[in-house]
């Protein structure tokens, strides 16, 4: 999936503008993600459908949002957005600006745990498929 396919005119300029005007917590988290997980590609303000993801790791199907203090009023919007992202196969994790600025190590640890959780789910799924194949006499 190419992120800019079927996007309205101006999407690239909007993403570029969001990146240039990114608040300090977003910039700090992006640097921390790239340092902690250099094997993953982290995109900043990447379009996904009609929305922009603060941080996106396409290979892990993970969206990370950094929410400001005024974001509490946006719960209905976030629910619609998260539902669309889930339908597209993405998981969403949210952190507050305060979390990122005052506890970046904890935020990165939480993201690391989420990534390991996903790997564990794949490993369990693979083991279950292998066991089922053995029962049926099929080579896994």
Owning domain of residue 15: 11-136
What pLDDT score was predicted for residue 36? Answer: 96
Q: What is the pLDDT of residues 30-86, one digit of tens each?
A: 999 999 999 999 999 888 888 888 999 999 999 999 988 766 677 888 888 899 999
Q: What pLDDT is recorded for position 135?
A: 42
Is 4 a member of any domain? no
On the question of pLDDT at 94 being above 70, the answer is: yes
Confidence band of 90 (pLDDT split at 50, 70, 90): very high
Q: β-strand 51-57 against 62-67: which pairing, if any?
A: antiparallel
∠ at Cα 88 (79, 112), nearest 5°? Answer: 80
Residue 2 inside a domain? The answer is no
Is residue 6 situated within a structural domain?
no
CB atoms within 10 A of CB 54: 22
In the chain, how many domains are there?
1
Q: What pLDDT, on the 0 to 100 scale, is given for residue 11?
A: 59
For the chain, give the percent of residues with pLDDT over 70. Answer: 68
Mean per-residue pLDDT over the chain, rounded: 79
Distances, alpha carbon 102 to alpha carbons 29, 84, 111, 113, 137, in Å: 11, 30, 16, 19, 55
Per-residue pLDDT band at 8 (split at 50, 70, 90): low
CATH of the domain at 86: 3.40.960.10
Burial of 53 (0-12, 13-18, 19+ CB in 10 A): buried
The encoded tokens of residue 2 equal 């190419």
Q: Is residue 35 part of a domain?
A: yes
Residue that wins the pLDDT comparison between 18 and 2: 18
In a domain, 45, yes or no: yes
Q: Residue 50's pLDDT is what?
A: 82
Statement: residue 24 has pLDDT above 70: yes
Q: Where are the alpha helices (DSSP H) in the chain?
A: 11-20, 24-36, 75-87, 97-102, 104-136
For residue 3, pLDDT beyond 70: no
């Amino acid at each position: 999936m190419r992120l800019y396919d079927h996007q309205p005119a101006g999407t690239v300029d909007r993403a570029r503008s969001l990146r240039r005007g990114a608040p300090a917590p977003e910039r700090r988290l992006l640097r921390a993600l790239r340092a902690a997980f250099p094997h993953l590609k982290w995109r900043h303000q990447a379009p996904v459908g009609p929305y922009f993801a603060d941080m996106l790791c396409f290979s892990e199907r993970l969206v990370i949002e950094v929410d400001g203090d005024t974001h509490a009023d946006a719960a209905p919007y976030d629910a619609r957005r998260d539902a669309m992202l889930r339908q597209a196969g993405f998981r969403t994790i949210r952190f507050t600006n305060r979390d990122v600025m005052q506890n970046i190590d904890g935020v990165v640890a939480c993201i690391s745990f989420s990534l390991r959780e996903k790997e564990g789910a794949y490993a369990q799924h693979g083991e279950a498929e292998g066991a089922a194949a053995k029962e049926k006499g099929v080579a896994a």
